[in-house]
Protein backbone atom coordinates (compact mmCIF):
# COMPACT_ATOMS: atom_id res chain seq x y z
CA UNK A 1 0.00 0.00 0.00
CA UNK A 2 1.40 3.42 -0.91
CA UNK A 3 2.21 5.73 1.97
CA UNK A 4 -0.35 8.23 0.65
CA UNK A 5 -3.02 5.54 0.76
CA UNK A 6 -1.97 4.50 4.27
CA UNK A 7 -2.21 8.12 5.45
CA UNK A 8 -5.66 8.50 3.89
CA UNK A 9 -6.91 5.33 5.61
CA UNK A 10 -5.41 6.27 8.95
CA UNK A 11 -6.88 9.76 8.81
CA UNK A 12 -10.26 8.44 7.70
CA UNK A 13 -10.37 6.08 10.64
CA UNK A 14 -9.36 8.86 13.06
CA UNK A 15 -11.93 11.30 11.63
CA UNK A 16 -14.88 8.97 11.08
CA UNK A 17 -14.22 5.93 13.30
CA UNK A 18 -14.47 3.46 10.40
CA UNK A 19 -12.57 2.35 7.30
CA UNK A 20 -13.11 3.92 3.85
CA UNK A 21 -14.74 1.79 1.17
CA UNK A 22 -13.41 3.54 -1.90
CA UNK A 23 -10.27 5.31 -2.98
CA UNK A 24 -10.59 7.51 -6.07
CA UNK A 25 -8.18 9.83 -7.86
CA UNK A 26 -8.01 12.45 -10.61
CA UNK A 27 -4.80 13.92 -12.05
CA UNK A 28 -3.53 17.43 -12.70
CA UNK A 29 -2.26 18.26 -16.17
CA UNK A 30 0.36 20.07 -18.17
CA UNK A 31 -0.53 21.60 -21.51
CA UNK A 32 2.16 20.96 -24.13
CA UNK A 33 0.83 23.43 -26.71
CA UNK A 34 -2.43 25.23 -27.57
CA UNK A 35 -2.85 27.98 -24.98
CA UNK A 36 -5.94 30.15 -24.68
CA UNK A 37 -7.45 28.28 -27.59
CA UNK A 38 -9.97 26.08 -25.74
CA UNK A 39 -12.53 28.84 -25.15
CA UNK A 40 -12.21 29.77 -28.82
CA UNK A 41 -13.45 26.31 -29.89
CA UNK A 42 -9.86 25.49 -30.90
CA UNK A 43 -7.25 22.78 -30.37
CA UNK A 44 -5.13 21.89 -27.32
CA UNK A 45 -2.54 19.21 -26.54
CA UNK A 46 -2.36 18.50 -22.80
CA UNK A 47 -1.25 15.40 -20.92
CA UNK A 48 -2.32 14.21 -17.46
CA UNK A 49 0.56 14.13 -14.94
CA UNK A 50 1.50 11.80 -12.10
CA UNK A 51 0.26 14.25 -9.46
CA UNK A 52 -3.34 13.88 -8.41
CA UNK A 53 -6.10 14.56 -5.91
CA UNK A 54 -7.36 11.55 -3.96
CA UNK A 55 -10.47 10.90 -1.91
CA UNK A 56 -10.90 8.00 0.50
CA UNK A 57 -14.60 7.67 1.19
CA UNK A 58 -17.54 5.72 2.54
CA UNK A 59 -21.27 6.30 1.95
CA UNK A 60 -23.55 7.90 4.55
CA UNK A 61 -27.18 7.11 5.06
CA UNK A 62 -28.24 10.77 5.11
CA UNK A 63 -27.84 13.54 2.49
CA UNK A 64 -24.70 15.04 4.07
CA UNK A 65 -21.17 15.22 2.67
CA UNK A 66 -18.43 15.45 5.32
CA UNK A 67 -14.86 15.96 4.12
CA UNK A 68 -11.56 16.41 5.91
CA UNK A 69 -8.80 17.97 3.80
CA UNK A 70 -5.32 16.78 4.70
CA UNK A 71 -3.72 19.66 2.78
CA UNK A 72 -5.73 22.33 4.56
CA UNK A 73 -6.11 20.39 7.85
CA UNK A 74 -9.73 21.48 7.80
CA UNK A 75 -13.13 19.84 8.04
CA UNK A 76 -16.01 20.87 5.83
CA UNK A 77 -19.56 19.60 5.49
CA UNK A 78 -22.67 20.40 3.54
CA UNK A 79 -26.09 19.02 2.70
CA UNK A 80 -26.87 17.83 -0.83
CA UNK A 81 -30.21 19.62 -0.38
CA UNK A 82 -28.72 23.03 0.35
CA UNK A 83 -25.71 23.82 -1.82
CA UNK A 84 -24.36 27.30 -1.10
CA UNK A 85 -20.91 28.82 -1.64
CA UNK A 86 -18.74 28.83 1.48
CA UNK A 87 -16.01 31.31 2.38
CA UNK A 88 -14.69 29.37 5.37
CA UNK A 89 -13.32 26.44 3.33
CA UNK A 90 -13.02 27.64 -0.29
CA UNK A 91 -11.64 24.26 -1.39
CA UNK A 92 -15.04 22.80 -0.42
CA UNK A 93 -16.72 24.84 -3.14
CA UNK A 94 -15.38 22.48 -5.82
CA UNK A 95 -17.15 19.57 -4.13
CA UNK A 96 -20.35 21.56 -3.69
CA UNK A 97 -20.18 22.76 -7.30
CA UNK A 98 -19.83 19.22 -8.63
CA UNK A 99 -22.77 18.04 -6.49
CA UNK A 100 -24.79 20.99 -7.80
CA UNK A 101 -23.91 20.26 -11.45
CA UNK A 102 -24.57 16.52 -11.15
CA UNK A 103 -27.94 17.04 -9.46
CA UNK A 104 -28.80 19.71 -12.02
CA UNK A 105 -28.22 17.08 -14.71
CA UNK A 106 -30.66 14.76 -12.95
CA UNK A 107 -28.28 12.40 -11.14
CA UNK A 108 -29.34 10.98 -7.74
CA UNK A 109 -26.46 11.47 -5.32
CA UNK A 110 -25.47 9.66 -2.13
CA UNK A 111 -23.94 11.51 0.85
CA UNK A 112 -20.47 10.44 1.98
CA UNK A 113 -17.65 10.84 4.49
CA UNK A 114 -14.24 11.46 2.92
CA UNK A 115 -10.66 12.42 3.49
CA UNK A 116 -9.12 14.38 0.64
CA UNK A 117 -5.42 14.72 -0.16
CA UNK A 118 -3.59 16.05 -3.19
CA UNK A 119 -0.05 16.56 -4.44
CA UNK A 120 -0.89 18.78 -7.40
CA UNK A 121 0.66 22.09 -6.33
CA UNK A 122 -2.17 24.52 -5.64
CA UNK A 123 -2.46 27.65 -7.77
CA UNK A 124 0.52 26.76 -9.96
CA UNK A 125 -1.33 26.24 -13.23
CA UNK A 126 -1.30 22.43 -13.10
CA UNK A 127 -5.07 22.23 -12.57
CA UNK A 128 -5.51 21.24 -8.96
CA UNK A 129 -9.08 22.57 -9.24
CA UNK A 130 -10.00 20.34 -12.17
CA UNK A 131 -8.40 17.38 -10.36
CA UNK A 132 -10.54 18.12 -7.28
CA UNK A 133 -13.67 18.34 -9.42
CA UNK A 134 -13.01 15.11 -11.29
CA UNK A 135 -12.10 13.27 -8.07
CA UNK A 136 -15.45 14.41 -6.67
CA UNK A 137 -17.38 13.26 -9.76
CA UNK A 138 -15.59 9.92 -9.50
CA UNK A 139 -16.57 9.65 -5.82
CA UNK A 140 -20.26 10.26 -6.57
CA UNK A 141 -20.06 7.93 -9.56
CA UNK A 142 -18.59 5.13 -7.45
CA UNK A 143 -21.13 5.48 -4.62
CA UNK A 144 -24.24 5.91 -6.71
CA UNK A 145 -23.24 3.73 -9.64
CA UNK A 146 -23.98 6.73 -11.87
CA UNK A 147 -23.97 6.14 -15.59
CA UNK A 148 -22.09 9.10 -16.94
CA UNK A 149 -19.24 8.89 -19.39
CA UNK A 150 -15.87 10.61 -19.13
CA UNK A 151 -16.80 13.49 -21.48
CA UNK A 152 -19.97 14.21 -19.51
CA UNK A 153 -17.93 14.07 -16.27
CA UNK A 154 -15.61 16.73 -17.73
CA UNK A 155 -18.47 18.93 -18.96
CA UNK A 156 -20.30 18.83 -15.61
CA UNK A 157 -17.04 19.62 -13.78
CA UNK A 158 -16.51 22.61 -16.06
CA UNK A 159 -20.10 23.68 -15.36
CA UNK A 160 -19.36 23.45 -11.61
CA UNK A 161 -16.35 25.72 -12.05
CA UNK A 162 -18.04 28.17 -14.47
CA UNK A 163 -21.43 28.53 -12.84
CA UNK A 164 -20.99 27.55 -9.17
CA UNK A 165 -17.40 28.51 -8.27
CA UNK A 166 -17.58 31.36 -10.82
CA UNK A 167 -14.39 30.89 -12.87
CA UNK A 168 -15.01 31.06 -16.63
CA UNK A 169 -12.43 28.45 -17.68
CA UNK A 170 -12.55 26.48 -20.94
CA UNK A 171 -12.90 22.69 -21.16
CA UNK A 172 -9.22 21.65 -21.42
CA UNK A 173 -8.35 21.02 -17.75
CA UNK A 174 -11.43 18.99 -16.85
CA UNK A 175 -11.26 17.08 -20.13
CA UNK A 176 -7.68 15.89 -19.72
CA UNK A 177 -8.14 15.12 -16.02
CA UNK A 178 -11.07 12.92 -17.02
CA UNK A 179 -9.81 11.35 -20.26
CA UNK A 180 -6.00 11.33 -19.94
CA UNK A 181 -4.19 8.25 -21.29
CA UNK A 182 -0.93 6.80 -20.01
CA UNK A 183 1.97 7.47 -22.38
CA UNK A 184 -0.08 9.85 -24.54
CA UNK A 185 -0.94 13.50 -24.89
CA UNK A 186 -4.46 14.21 -26.15
CA UNK A 187 -5.17 16.39 -29.15
CA UNK A 188 -8.56 17.76 -28.17
CA UNK A 189 -10.94 19.50 -30.54
CA UNK A 190 -12.64 21.83 -28.07
CA UNK A 191 -15.62 22.30 -30.41
CA UNK A 192 -16.56 18.72 -31.22
CA UNK A 193 -14.98 17.39 -27.99
CA UNK A 194 -13.45 14.64 -30.10
CA UNK A 195 -9.87 13.68 -29.33
CA UNK A 196 -6.90 11.76 -30.67
CA UNK A 197 -4.33 10.14 -28.39
CA UNK A 198 -0.85 11.15 -29.52
CA UNK A 199 1.96 8.85 -28.29
CA UNK A 200 4.78 10.70 -26.56
CA UNK A 201 8.07 10.23 -28.38
CA UNK A 202 10.90 8.17 -26.90
CA UNK A 203 14.21 9.79 -25.97
CA UNK A 204 12.80 13.11 -24.76
CA UNK A 205 11.04 14.36 -21.68
CA UNK A 206 8.80 17.25 -20.75
CA UNK A 207 10.29 19.15 -17.81
CA UNK A 208 7.74 21.14 -15.81
CA UNK A 209 9.09 24.03 -13.75
CA UNK A 210 6.96 26.01 -11.31
CA UNK A 211 8.09 29.63 -11.07
CA UNK A 212 6.38 29.85 -7.65
CA UNK A 213 4.99 33.21 -8.85
CA UNK A 214 1.32 33.43 -7.90
CA UNK A 215 -0.33 36.49 -9.31
CA UNK A 216 -3.64 37.92 -8.24
CA UNK A 217 -6.19 39.25 -10.72
CA UNK A 218 -5.64 36.25 -12.99
CA UNK A 219 -9.38 35.76 -13.31
CA UNK A 220 -10.08 39.31 -14.43
CA UNK A 221 -7.19 39.28 -16.95
CA UNK A 222 -8.39 35.89 -18.21
CA UNK A 223 -11.96 37.12 -18.63
CA UNK A 224 -10.71 40.24 -20.40
CA UNK A 225 -8.81 38.05 -22.94
CA UNK A 226 -11.93 35.96 -23.46
CA UNK A 227 -13.99 39.08 -24.11
CA UNK A 228 -11.40 40.39 -26.62
CA UNK A 229 -11.52 37.08 -28.50
CA UNK A 230 -15.32 37.18 -28.57
CA UNK A 231 -15.24 40.73 -29.87
CA UNK A 232 -12.82 39.67 -32.61
CA UNK A 233 -15.02 36.75 -33.66
CA UNK A 234 -18.08 38.99 -33.68
CA UNK A 235 -16.41 41.63 -35.83
CA UNK A 236 -15.12 38.96 -38.21
CA UNK A 237 -18.62 37.48 -38.39
CA UNK A 238 -17.63 33.96 -37.33
CA UNK A 239 -18.99 31.81 -34.48
CA UNK A 240 -15.48 31.50 -32.95
CA UNK A 241 -11.85 32.29 -33.83
CA UNK A 242 -11.49 28.59 -34.65
CA UNK A 243 -13.33 29.36 -37.88
CA UNK A 244 -10.66 31.67 -39.35
CA UNK A 245 -7.45 30.56 -41.07
CA UNK A 246 -4.31 32.61 -40.48
CA UNK A 247 -4.26 33.75 -44.12
CA UNK A 248 -7.85 34.95 -43.98
CA UNK A 249 -7.25 36.57 -40.61
CA UNK A 250 -4.31 38.59 -41.92
CA UNK A 251 -6.43 39.81 -44.82
CA UNK A 252 -9.18 41.03 -42.51
CA UNK A 253 -7.18 42.06 -39.42
CA UNK A 254 -6.78 45.73 -40.48
CA UNK A 255 -10.51 46.21 -39.82
CA UNK A 256 -10.10 45.21 -36.15
CA UNK A 257 -9.05 47.46 -33.26
CA UNK A 258 -5.28 46.96 -32.74
CA UNK A 259 -5.41 45.24 -29.38
CA UNK A 260 -8.21 42.92 -30.43
CA UNK A 261 -6.29 42.05 -33.60
CA UNK A 262 -3.20 41.25 -31.56
CA UNK A 263 -5.08 38.93 -29.19
CA UNK A 264 -6.90 37.20 -32.03
CA UNK A 265 -3.70 36.75 -34.05
CA UNK A 266 -2.28 34.70 -31.18
CA UNK A 267 -5.31 32.43 -31.05
CA UNK A 268 -5.60 31.90 -34.79
CA UNK A 269 -1.88 31.14 -35.19
CA UNK A 270 -1.79 28.99 -32.04
CA UNK A 271 -4.55 26.76 -33.42
CA UNK A 272 -2.51 26.18 -36.58
CA UNK A 273 0.59 25.56 -34.46
CA UNK A 274 -1.14 22.82 -32.49
CA UNK A 275 -2.05 20.93 -35.65
CA UNK A 276 1.40 21.47 -37.11
CA UNK A 277 3.14 20.35 -33.91
CA UNK A 278 1.02 17.19 -33.64
CA UNK A 279 1.93 16.28 -37.22
CA UNK A 280 5.59 16.84 -36.29
CA UNK A 281 5.26 14.64 -33.21
CA UNK A 282 3.61 11.87 -35.20
CA UNK A 283 6.45 12.07 -37.73
CA UNK A 284 9.01 11.80 -34.91
CA UNK A 285 10.25 15.36 -35.55
CA UNK A 286 10.79 16.53 -31.98
CA UNK A 287 12.92 19.45 -33.17
CA UNK A 288 9.97 20.92 -35.07
CA UNK A 289 7.74 20.35 -32.05
CA UNK A 290 10.22 22.27 -29.88
CA UNK A 291 10.24 25.14 -32.36
CA UNK A 292 6.46 25.35 -32.19
CA UNK A 293 6.68 25.48 -28.39
CA UNK A 294 9.12 28.41 -28.66
CA UNK A 295 6.83 30.25 -31.08
CA UNK A 296 3.87 29.62 -28.81
CA UNK A 297 5.69 31.27 -25.92
CA UNK A 298 6.72 34.29 -27.99
CA UNK A 299 3.15 34.74 -29.12
CA UNK A 300 1.77 34.41 -25.57
CA UNK A 301 4.32 36.97 -24.39
CA UNK A 302 4.08 39.53 -27.17
CA UNK A 303 0.59 39.18 -28.62
CA UNK A 304 -1.54 37.71 -25.85
CA UNK A 305 0.42 39.41 -23.04
CA UNK A 306 -0.06 36.67 -20.44
CA UNK A 307 3.58 35.95 -19.59
CA UNK A 308 5.59 37.20 -16.63
CA UNK A 309 9.27 38.28 -16.49
CA UNK A 310 10.17 35.22 -14.38
CA UNK A 311 8.52 32.90 -16.91
CA UNK A 312 10.41 34.63 -19.73
CA UNK A 313 13.68 34.15 -17.86
CA UNK A 314 12.91 30.48 -17.21
CA UNK A 315 12.19 29.86 -20.87
CA UNK A 316 15.38 31.65 -21.90
CA UNK A 317 17.51 29.77 -19.37
CA UNK A 318 16.12 26.37 -20.36
CA UNK A 319 16.58 27.03 -24.09
CA UNK A 320 20.22 28.01 -23.59
CA UNK A 321 21.05 24.47 -22.40
CA UNK A 322 22.06 22.09 -25.20
CA UNK A 323 19.43 19.38 -25.57
CA UNK A 324 16.51 21.67 -24.74
CA UNK A 325 14.41 21.63 -27.90
CA UNK A 326 11.81 24.21 -26.88
CA UNK A 327 10.17 25.87 -23.89
CA UNK A 328 7.03 27.82 -23.15
CA UNK A 329 4.76 28.96 -20.38
CA UNK A 330 1.90 26.53 -19.77
CA UNK A 331 -1.62 27.12 -18.49
CA UNK A 332 -3.30 30.49 -18.18
CA UNK A 333 0.00 32.34 -17.57
CA UNK A 334 0.73 35.43 -15.43
CA UNK A 335 2.80 33.12 -13.21
CA UNK A 336 2.71 29.37 -12.62
CA UNK A 337 4.72 26.95 -14.74
CA UNK A 338 6.80 26.52 -17.86
CA UNK A 339 7.23 23.29 -19.79
CA UNK A 340 10.39 22.42 -21.71
CA UNK A 341 11.03 19.61 -24.18
CA UNK A 342 14.39 18.08 -23.36
CA UNK A 343 16.51 15.21 -24.70
CA UNK A 344 16.67 12.61 -21.89
CA UNK A 345 20.43 12.80 -21.33
CA UNK A 346 20.23 16.58 -20.95
CA UNK A 347 17.42 16.70 -18.35
CA UNK A 348 19.77 17.02 -15.34
CA UNK A 349 21.57 19.99 -16.98
CA UNK A 350 18.27 21.75 -17.75
CA UNK A 351 16.98 21.16 -14.22
CA UNK A 352 20.23 22.48 -12.78
CA UNK A 353 20.15 25.60 -14.97
CA UNK A 354 16.51 26.24 -14.16
CA UNK A 355 17.20 26.11 -10.46
CA UNK A 356 20.55 27.87 -10.27
CA UNK A 357 20.54 30.38 -13.08
CA UNK A 358 16.92 31.41 -12.57
CA UNK A 359 17.57 31.84 -8.83
CA UNK A 360 20.60 33.97 -9.62
CA UNK A 361 18.68 36.17 -12.04
CA UNK A 362 15.32 36.43 -10.30
CA UNK A 363 15.81 35.41 -6.66
CA UNK A 364 13.22 32.63 -7.10
CA UNK A 365 14.08 28.94 -7.23
CA UNK A 366 11.69 27.07 -9.54
CA UNK A 367 10.24 23.81 -8.31
CA UNK A 368 10.78 21.01 -10.84
CA UNK A 369 8.27 18.27 -11.70
CA UNK A 370 9.24 15.41 -13.96
CA UNK A 371 6.26 13.40 -15.09
CA UNK A 372 5.24 11.10 -17.87
CA UNK A 373 1.69 11.07 -19.21
CA UNK A 374 -0.76 9.33 -16.90
CA UNK A 375 -4.32 7.97 -17.08
CA UNK A 376 -7.33 10.14 -16.26
CA UNK A 377 -9.64 10.00 -13.26
CA UNK A 378 -10.66 6.65 -11.83
CA UNK A 379 -11.28 4.34 -8.92
CA UNK A 380 -8.08 3.01 -7.36
CA UNK A 381 -9.70 0.69 -4.84
CA UNK A 382 -13.27 -0.16 -3.97
CA UNK A 383 -16.21 -2.50 -4.08
C1 LIG B 1 -6.67 27.81 -17.77
C2 LIG B 1 -8.12 27.41 -18.11
C3 LIG B 1 -8.14 26.56 -19.38
C4 LIG B 1 -7.39 27.25 -20.52
C5 LIG B 1 -6.01 27.70 -20.06
C6 LIG B 1 -5.30 28.52 -21.11
O7 LIG B 1 -5.94 26.68 -17.44
O8 LIG B 1 -8.68 26.68 -17.04
O9 LIG B 1 -9.48 26.29 -19.74
O10 LIG B 1 -8.14 28.30 -21.04
O11 LIG B 1 -6.09 28.48 -18.88
O12 LIG B 1 -4.96 27.74 -22.20
242 plus 163 within the same structural domain = no
328 lines ligand 1 (CB under 6 A): no
127 plus 152 within the same structural domain = yes
Residues with Cβ within 8 Å of residue 271, at least 6 apart in sequence: 34, 37, 40, 42, 43, 241, 242
35 lines ligand 1 (CB under 6 A): yes
125 plus 174 within the same structural domain = yes
Tell me the residue range of the domain where 76 lies: 3-199+374-381
For 317-321, which contacts have Cβ atoms below 8 Å and span 24 or more sequence positions?
317/353, 317/354, 317/357, 317/358, 317/361, 318/207, 318/209, 318/342, 318/350, 318/353, 318/354, 319/294, 320/353, 321/346, 321/349, 321/350, 321/353
172 lines ligand 1 (CB under 6 A): yes
The strand pair at 337-343 and 324-330 is best described as antiparallel
Spacing of C-alpha 350 from chain mean position: 23
216 plus 187 within the same structural domain = no
248 plus 181 within the same structural domain = no
Please identify, by atom number, the ligand 1 atom nearest to the C-alpha of residue 39: 10
Query: Other CB atoms closer than 10 Å to residue 40's CB: what's the count?
Result: 27
pLDDT at 383: 57
CATH number for the domain spanning 25: value is 3.30.230.10
pLDDT at 217: 62
CATH number for the domain spanning 329: value is 3.30.70.890
Catalytic residue among 76, 173, 210, 292: 173
Please identify, by atom number, the ligand 1 atom nearest to the C-alpha of residue 127: 7
Burial class of residue 228, CB neighbours in 10 A (0-12, 13-18, 19+): buried
C-alpha of residue 170 to centroid of ligand 1, in Å: 6
15 plus 150 within the same structural domain = yes
pLDDT in tens, the chain (383 residues): 689 999 999 999 999 999 999 999 999 999 999 999 999 999 999 999 999 999 999 999 999 999 999 999 999 999 999 999 999 999 999 999 999 999 999 999 999 999 999 999 998 999 999 999 999 999 999 999 899 999 999 999 999 999 999 999 999 999 999 999 999 999 999 999 999 999 999 999 999 999 999 876 678 899 999 999 999 999 999 999 999 999 999 999 999 999 999 999 999 999 999 999 999 999 999 999 999 999 999 999 999 999 999 999 999 999 999 999 999 999 999 999 999 999 999 999 999 999 999 999 999 999 999 999 999 999 998 85
94 plus 210 within the same structural domain = no
The answer to whether the CB of 95 falls within 8 A of the CB of 86 is: no
185 plus 258 within the same structural domain = no
Q: Is 173 a known active-site residue?
A: yes
Spacing of C-alpha 167 from chain mean position: 13
209 plus 309 within the same structural domain = yes
133 lines ligand 1 (CB under 6 A): no
178 plus 251 within the same structural domain = no
Q: Which of 374, 71, 362, 69 is nearest to 208 (CA)?
A: 374
Q: Whose Cα sits closest to atom 1 in ligand 1?
A: 332
C-alpha of residue 172 to centroid of ligand 1, in Å: 6
46 lines ligand 1 (CB under 6 A): no
Query: Other CB atoms closer than 10 Å to residue 119's CB: what's the count?
Result: 15
The answer to whether the CB of 105 falls within 8 A of the CB of 157 is: no
Residues with Cβ within 8 Å of residue 291, at least 6 apart in sequence: 325, 326
User: How many domains does the chain divide into?
Assistant: 2
The answer to whether the CB of 207 falls within 8 A of the CB of 340 is: yes
User: 59 has which bridge partners?
Assistant: 112
Residue 56 three-state SS: strand
185 plus 70 within the same structural domain = yes
pTM recorded for the entire structure: 0.97
161 lines ligand 1 (CB under 6 A): no
Please identify, by atom number, the ligand 1 atom nearest to the C-alpha of residue 34: 12
36 lines ligand 1 (CB under 6 A): yes
pLDDT at 123: 87
Q: Whose Cα sits closest to atom 9 in ligand 1?
A: 170
191 plus 211 within the same structural domain = no
Amino acid sequence: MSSRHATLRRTFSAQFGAMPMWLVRAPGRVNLIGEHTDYNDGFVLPMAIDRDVRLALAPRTDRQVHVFSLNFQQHDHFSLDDLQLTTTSPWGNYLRGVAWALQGAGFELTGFDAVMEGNVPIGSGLSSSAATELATVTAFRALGNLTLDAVQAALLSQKAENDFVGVKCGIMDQYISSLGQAGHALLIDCRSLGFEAVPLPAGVQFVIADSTVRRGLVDSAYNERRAQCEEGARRLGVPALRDVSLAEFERRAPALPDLVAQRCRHVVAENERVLHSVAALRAGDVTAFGRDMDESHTSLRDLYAVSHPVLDTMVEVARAVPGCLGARLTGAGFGGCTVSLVVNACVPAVVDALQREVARRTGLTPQIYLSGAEAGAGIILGE
